[in-house]
């Protein structure tokens, strides 16, 4: 067994993966439900050798520079947009992620959001709990069908394709756009009854669904986002919902995230918002923890990470 390293994990993780990490290294786990404050991360930086971070942790150039002993960063997520990957590469620090494992669970949730917003599930449940349901009415809680609808998939990678497979069972017509092909985004927006977002967050996709894109959508169409919050312009979406430019939106991710309880978006009509739970099943979150720990163990041992987003050493 190699040297025991100082490791900080920014949140408790499901499953038993952290026990494997603790067996080999000196591990401190931040105990709270909320992310460790910035000053806590910076205070640990000088002695930090391994970091297991979440999307809510800003691992920027300042933090990396303040951690001269840092040998490996493992991010408990598919995306690494919270990590300054260039700064890590400049220091020769490998960065790992947890791809593939959450594909199917996130695709399941995307369909749940489509059905939830189109069939007004949250609204109906609140109606019953408020004691307002007096009798069956022909016009009560009318929504829209998913089956037979035209669904536009923005980003046709692993998750987008998994969503497409599910929608085939609903008899949907699929319209896709991605870096590797499909139709232009403008055409997808104009044709679709549902627009579901599955592209990564990059400088090119930040604000991709803004005021102009929302105006191109049908007034009867729904927007679903399970990718990253900043892909959708929050202010533009708020205005579009208030003015009925689109029929509704269902979001698992937001910008900012988390949304404050008094955020203007939450006052918009025909909105369903979840607290970023796309991968939140026992099996998926446990497998994510296993992958994140495997990445960190390899990086601390000077070996290639099983899932490494930075270039591997020659």
Phi first, then psi, for residue 262 (nearest 5°) are -100, 15
Could you say which DSSP state residue 204 is in? Answer: T
Q: Is 257 a catalytic residue?
A: yes
Q: Give the burial class of 137: count Cβ atoms within 10 A of its Cβ; 0-12 exposed, 13-18 middle, 19 or more buried.
A: exposed
Quote the CA–CA distance of 248 and 152 in Å, as a whole number. Answer: 15
Q: Which candidate in 26, 62, 123, 257 is catalytic? A: 257
Q: Is 58 a catalytic residue?
A: no
Q: Which candidate in 44, 191, 276, 287 is catalytic? A: 276
Q: Which candidate in 11, 25, 216, 228 is catalytic? A: 228
Of 122, 128, 9, 21, nearest to 57 by C-alpha is 9
Task: Yes or no: say if 233 and 211 are a contact pair by the CB < 8 Å rule.
Answer: yes
List the structure tokens of 86: 């260039």
CA distances 78 to 82, 110, 298, Å, are 11, 16, 18
Q: What is the Rg, in whole angstroms, of the alpha carbon atoms belonging to the chain?
A: 21
Q: Which is it for the CA torsion 146, 152, 154, 158, positive or negative?
A: positive
CA distances 61 to 29, 65, 139, Å, are 22, 6, 57
CA distances 23 to 4, 19, 31, 70, 113, Å, are 9, 6, 19, 19, 40
Catalytically active residues, by annotation: 228, 257, 276
């Amino acid at each position: 067994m190699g040297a025991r390293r100082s490791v900080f994990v920014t949140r408790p993780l499901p499953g038993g993966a952290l026990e494997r990490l603790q067996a080999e290294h000196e591990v401190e786990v931040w105990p709270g439900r909320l992310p460790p404050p910035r000053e806590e991360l910076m205070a640990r930086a000088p002695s930090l050798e391994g970091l297991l971070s979440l999307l809510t942790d800003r691992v920027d150039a300042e933090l990396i520079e303040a951690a001269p002993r840092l040998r490996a960063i493992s991010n408990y997520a598919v995306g690494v947009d919270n990590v300054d990957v260039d700064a890590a590469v400049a220091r020769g620090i490998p960065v790992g992620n947890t791809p593939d494992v959450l594909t199917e669970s996130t695709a399941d949730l995307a369909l749940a959001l489509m059905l939830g917003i189109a069939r007004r599930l949250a609204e109906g449940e609140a109606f019953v709990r408020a004691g307002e349901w007096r009798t069956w009415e022909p016009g009560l809680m009318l929504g829209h069908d998913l089956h037979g609808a035209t669904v536009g998939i923005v980003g046709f990678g692993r998750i987008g394709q998994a969503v497409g497979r599910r929608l085939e069972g609903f008899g949907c017509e699929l319209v896709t756009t991605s870096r590797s092909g499909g139709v232009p985004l403008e055409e997808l927006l104009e044709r679709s009854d549902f627009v579901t977002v599955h592209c990564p967050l990059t400088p090119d996709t930040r604000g991709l669904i803004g005021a102009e894109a929302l105006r191109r959508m049908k007034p009867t169409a729904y927007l679903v986002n399970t990718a990253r919050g900043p892909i959708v312009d929050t202010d533009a979406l708020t205005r579009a919902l208030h003015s009925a430019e689109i029929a509704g939106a269902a979001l698992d991710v937001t910008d900012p995230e988390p949304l404050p309880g008094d955020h203007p978006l939450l006052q918009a009509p025909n909105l369903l918002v979840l607290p970023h739970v796309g991968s939140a099943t026992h099996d998926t979150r446990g497998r994510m923890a296993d992958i994140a720990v495997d990445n960190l163990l390899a990086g601390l041992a000077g070996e290639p990470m099983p899932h490494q987003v930075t270039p591997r050493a020659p």
